[in-house]
Structure 1
Amino acid sequence: MSTVLQPGPARRKAARIAVLSGIASVAVALAGCGDSGTPDASQPTPEASAGPSAAAAELVVQDPWVKAADDGMTAVFGVLVNDTTADVTITSVTTDISPVELHEMAMSDGAMVMREKDGGIVVPAGGSHTLEPGGDHIMLMDIARPVQPGDEIALTLTFADGATSEFTAVAKPFAGAEESYDPSTEMDHG
């Protein structure tokens, strides 16, 4: 003979309390996802999001590429796009294959020279800045291994406010502008 136990008043009350507690927990969790109108100290406010870190996070590197090279120096190019309302300054770049400097081409004593860019690279609010052969570029000073066409090089940008952003540049063969990144050429640091 089997006996079916029917819930008694104490069991029914305990079951209701458990169900109501579960519903209350879900309601509290969902309320945390909604906009209560009271700022949550752990979440950035719209004012905080509009600062330089937000601008740095929104910087996009379009069509990044690196000149293929067997050894020595090479450079990274592309277009830096800033769709925010604040200027963004890149102060340094790092990669695991080489020491890196931000460079520019400039006239010095009547000759075009490659030199480190003082103050970094500023990408204007709502604008862009092109990194190109014969102009501003990211200089890989002494590559630890050959960079062959198709290789992907990971780089990390550091901004004036300390924020960072990563991107990958694909290696391409390039002979245009007939630049040499050999320190013994006329395009040496000025």
Structure 2
Amino acid sequence: MIPHIARPALLIAALTGLAACSPASQPQNDADAAPAVAAADAWCRPSPNGARAGACYVVLTAATDDRLTGGSTPRAGTLQVHEMKTENGMMTMREMAQGLPLPAGEPVALAPGGAHLMLMDLTAPLIAGETLPLTLDFADAAPVTVQAKVRQPAMAGVDQGAH
């Protein structure tokens, strides 16, 4: 006969053993289940002293249809997805509240004059030559962290490869 106190311990041990033998109902971690987004050519514009905002750019390619929804960086209070648009003959900038669509397999370039990452409430100016981490968030894919170099934009028609 098993003592009254040992019965719950045996039941717990048996159930634990059964749980260990059963297949996992969920992936081991979110990264295994989330579709991937590749990021390339991340960079930010230098910001003037006293500026509270800065702009960064990157090329994103999603494995499946997804959306860039925002992100974070230790260098700013907020990282938002913004776009430049011409409305009534005036260039305007606004947050893309629903995020930026990323069609499967198609590179999407965040670039000056279009969609970009807006860093709000900078902790310090963005200085040419430094690198800062940007963690990008997506509707479906796992977050991606890139290292963005702070530099001046390349001039149109000028090959900067030798510089």
TM over 0.5: yes
Identify the residue that residue 79 of structure 1 maps to in structure 2: 59
Cα distance per residue 1:86-135 (max 9 Å; x no partner): 21111111111112211001122321101111310111101111100000
Identify the residue that residue 107 of structure 1 maps to in structure 2: 86
User: Which structure has the greater CA radius of gyration?
Assistant: 1
Contact 2:81 2:96 in 1 (8 A): yes
Greater helix content: 1
- Give 3-state SS (helix, strand or coil) of 1:89's partner: strand
Q: Which amino acid aligns with 1:135?
A: G
Q: Which amino acid aligns with 1:62?
A: A
Identify the residue that residue 135 of structure 1 maps to in structure 2: 114
Identify the residue that residue 24 of structure 2 maps to in structure 1: 41
Identify the residue that residue 147 of structure 1 maps to in structure 2: 126
Identity across aligned pairs (percent)?
A: 35
Q: Paired residues, what number? A: 131
Q: Which amino acid aligns with 1:81?
A: T
Greater strand content: 2
Which consecutive unaligned segments of at least 5 residues does structure 1 have? 1-38, 178-190
In 1, the alpha carbon distance for the partners of 2:85 and 2:126 equals 27
In 2, the alpha carbon distance for the partners of 1:130 and 1:174 equals 14
Label 1:175 to 1:105 Cα distance change in 2 as closer, same or farther (>3 A).
Answer: same
CA RMSD between the two structures? 2.7
The higher relative CO (CA closer than 8 Å, separation ≥ 6) is in 2
Q: Which amino acid aligns with 1:92?
A: G
Identify the residue that residue 93 of structure 1 maps to in structure 2: 71
In 1, the alpha carbon distance for the partners of 2:155 and 2:50 equals 18
1:59 aligns with 2:42: no
- Give 3-state SS (helix, strand or coil) of 2:121's partner: coil
Contact 1:71 1:144 in 2 (8 A): no
